């Protein structure tokens, strides 16, 4: 059944009795009525239809307008308040928050509005809507800063950034910069940094390579673009894990690739379902599958490599959070097993240092090195000299190794705290991906609401957890069970915050 509330922009007059919102509810939709109300009000705010301090109807008025229960309206408002979109003034009413978030951060697959119609000018210049990327991933939600505990995924702890050493290296490099800041340098990156990375990768990841094979990039995302621009042709096949990381899939899609999802199970990518086509690119996360967290078995790795050799394919290995392995010894990266040079390895400093640095690296097969260097030049002439130089010094001095050991231990303790808290508040939990990385996944037991609903209840109680979509994961199969998976990023919270967050979540689910 569709119920259409009255239309029109809310009156600027602060008389909540006169405020009416254009909200359309669809009971046959998968998301709950509460989520639909939340989504639509949030969209009005993000689109600028509702502005800071605009008044909103009371929950009683809203429930009467929409023909829903008062509780549904209250829950939708609570979630909007928890995420910082609206606020209540006691005895006055409910209003759109005056300090609204930076909307640039808020795009996601589901929310990205359709591209605006091409203007005459744009049409005249041959730029059509079909050439513009339609989907982007979500990196952060600034509103969640207000939560008591936010298990947002993929975010390191700002408190662990090695600020003192970093500032010393930056200052020292600035002092001796000479003409470095006023000239261009090798688009492949600073040699000292490439040497330090090559030295690190051998023992840490089993990847033996020359500094010449390394291209410094602006994080993995830049690496996806670099690889994609070289290897993807419109209509070519891009194998992705199902589910997979949106950031990579959307780049491949934007370059015209046909996404070919291959399911994963407890051993990683199901290699029996790889396509029998020549010249594909396969994007994989073997060490800690994103989002589910499983590790690809050795047998599957070997089969994937032989598929690539047989079908002349390249594998893009995203080793985004492999610095953190909590069980057993570090696993060799897929690249470490690659005898035929079919793997392009992507590493990032976003997880072990911080995404604000925008530093990562690609290890290219020897025969592609020159093409990678040229493409990097076409794209952006290389990365900032200063950060590369500071990172090179931080690695060469041994501080990077010590930093890694320190945060690995800390993150292990936080992971243990999360596992302990889940066990304490929810009993036996089925968990994936806890052996490594910065997040784990809880498979919600039967009888629990869906991950999306748990996320909504958590937000209303001041706790951020992530359903797969919120965690930038792309699903291809609605029957893959992904709607039961809840992601917890655990490294940015102290043990106390973790316990507090899980305890609040448990209360919210009981209430």
Ligand X SMILES: Cc1ncc(COP(=O)(O)O)c(C=O)c1O
Please give the residue ranges that form the binding site for ligand X (CB under 6 A). Answer: 154, 219-221, 245, 247, 285, 290, 318, 320, 348, 350, 355, 360
> In the bound complex, which residue of the shown chain has the CB atom lying closest to ligand X?
219
Q: Are 436 and 325 in contact (CB under 8 A)?
A: yes
Q: How far is the CB of 344 from ligand X (least distance, A)?
A: 14
Pinpoint the alpha helices (H) of 311-450: 369-380, 385-396, 399-426
β-strands 281-284, 314-318 pairing = parallel
In which element (H, E) is residue 238 found? strand 237-242
Phi-psi region of 427 (alpha: psi -120 to 50; beta: other; left: phi over 0): left
Q: How far is the CB of 457 from ligand X (least distance, A)?
A: 25
Beta carbon of residue 487, minimum distance to ligand X (angstroms, whole number): 10
Task: Please identify, using beta-carbon distances, which residue of 78 and 321 lies nearer to ligand X.
Answer: 321
Nearest to 228 by CA among 293, 318, 153: 318
Q: Where are the beta strands (DSSP E) in 90-146?
A: 93-96
CB of 490 to ligand X, least distance (A): 15
Tokens representing residue 499 in the block: 């316990």
Q: How far is the CB of 103 from ligand X (least distance, A)?
A: 20
User: Measured from the CB atom, is 318 or 455 closer to ligand X?
Assistant: 318
Of residues 245 and 372, the one with the C-beta less far from ligand X:
245
Alpha helices in 145-265 (DSSP H): 163-175, 191-205, 219-231, 246-254
Nearer to ligand X, 349 or 394 (CB): 349
Q: How many CA atoms lie within 13 A of 389 on its CB side?
A: 18
Q: Which is nearer to ligand X, 434 or 499 (CB)?
A: 434
Minimum distance between the CB of residue 239 and ligand X, rounded to whole angstroms?
16
Under 8 Å between Cβ of 455 and 445: no
How many residues are present in the chain? 511
220 vs 505 by CB, closer to ligand X: 220
Instruction: Kindly tell me which of 57 and 291 has the beta carbon lying closer to ligand X.
Output: 291
- In whole angstroms, the minimum distance from the beta carbon of 221 to ligand X comes to 3
Q: Rounded to an integer, what distance in angstroms lies between the CA atom of residue 426 and that of residue 81?
A: 27
């Amino acid at each position: 059944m569709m119920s259409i509330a009255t239309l029109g922009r809310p009156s600027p007059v602060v008389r909540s009795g006169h405020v009416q919102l254009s909200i359309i509810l669809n009971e046959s939709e998968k998301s709950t009525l509460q989520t639909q109300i939340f989504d639509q009000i949030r969209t009005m705010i993000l689109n600028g239809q509702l502005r800071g301090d605009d008044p909103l109807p009371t929950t009683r008025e809203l429930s009467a307008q929409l023909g829903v229960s008062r509780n549904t309206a209250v829950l939708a408002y609570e979630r909007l308040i928890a995420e910082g979109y609206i606020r209540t003034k006691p005895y006055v009413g409910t209003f759109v928050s005056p300090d609204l978030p930076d909307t640039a951060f808020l795009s996601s697959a589901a929310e990205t509005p359709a591209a605006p119609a091409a203007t005459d000018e744009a049409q005249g210049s041959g730029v059509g809507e079909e050439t513009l990327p339609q989907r982007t991933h979500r990196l952060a939600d600034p509103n969640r800063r207000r939560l008591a505990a936010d298990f947002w995924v993929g975010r390191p702890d700002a408190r662990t950034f090695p600020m003192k050493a970093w500032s010393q290296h930056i200052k020292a490099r600035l002092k001796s910069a000479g003409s470095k800041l006023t000239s261009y340098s090798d688009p492949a990156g600073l040699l000292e940094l490439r040497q330090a990375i090559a030295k690190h990768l051998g023992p840490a990841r089993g990847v033996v390579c020359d500094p010449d094979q390394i291209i410094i990039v602006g994080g993995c995302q830049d690496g996806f673009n670099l690889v994609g621009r070289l290897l993807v042709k419109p209509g070519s096949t891009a194998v992705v894990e199902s589910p997979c990381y949106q950031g990579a899939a959307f780049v491949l899609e934007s370059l015209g690739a046909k996404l070919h999802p291959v399911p994963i199970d407890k051993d990683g990518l199901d290699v029996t379902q790889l396509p029998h086509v020549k010249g594909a690119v396969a994007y994989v996360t073997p060490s800690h599958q994103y989002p589910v967290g499983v590790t690809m078995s050795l047998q599957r790795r070997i089969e994937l490599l032989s598929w690539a050799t047989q079908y002349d394919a390249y594998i893009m290995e995203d080793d985004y959070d492999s610095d953190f392995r909590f069980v057993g010894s570090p696993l060799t990266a897929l690249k470490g097993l690659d005898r035929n040079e079919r793997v392009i390895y992507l590493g990032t400093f976003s997880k072990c240092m911080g995404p604000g640095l925008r530093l990562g690296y690609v290890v290219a097969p020897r025969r592609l090195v020159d093409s990678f260097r040229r493409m990097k030049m076409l794209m952006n002439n290389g990365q900032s000299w200063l950060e590369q130089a500071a990172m090179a010094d931080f690695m060469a001095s041994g501080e990077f190794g010590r930093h890694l050991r320190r945060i690995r231990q800390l993150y292990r303790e936080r992971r243990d705290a999360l596992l302990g808290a889940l066990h304490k508040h929810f009993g036996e939990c089925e968990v994936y991906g806890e052996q490594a990385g910065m997040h784990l996944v809880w498979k919600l037991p039967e009888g629990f609401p869906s991950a999306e609903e748990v996320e909504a209840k958590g937000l209303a109680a001041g706790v951020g957890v992530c359903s797969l979509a919120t965690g930038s994961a792309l699903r291809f199969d609605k029957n893959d069970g992904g709607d039961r998976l809840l992601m917890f990023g655990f490294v940015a919270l102290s043990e106390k915050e973790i316990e507090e967050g899980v305890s609040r979540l448990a209360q919210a689910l009981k209430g």
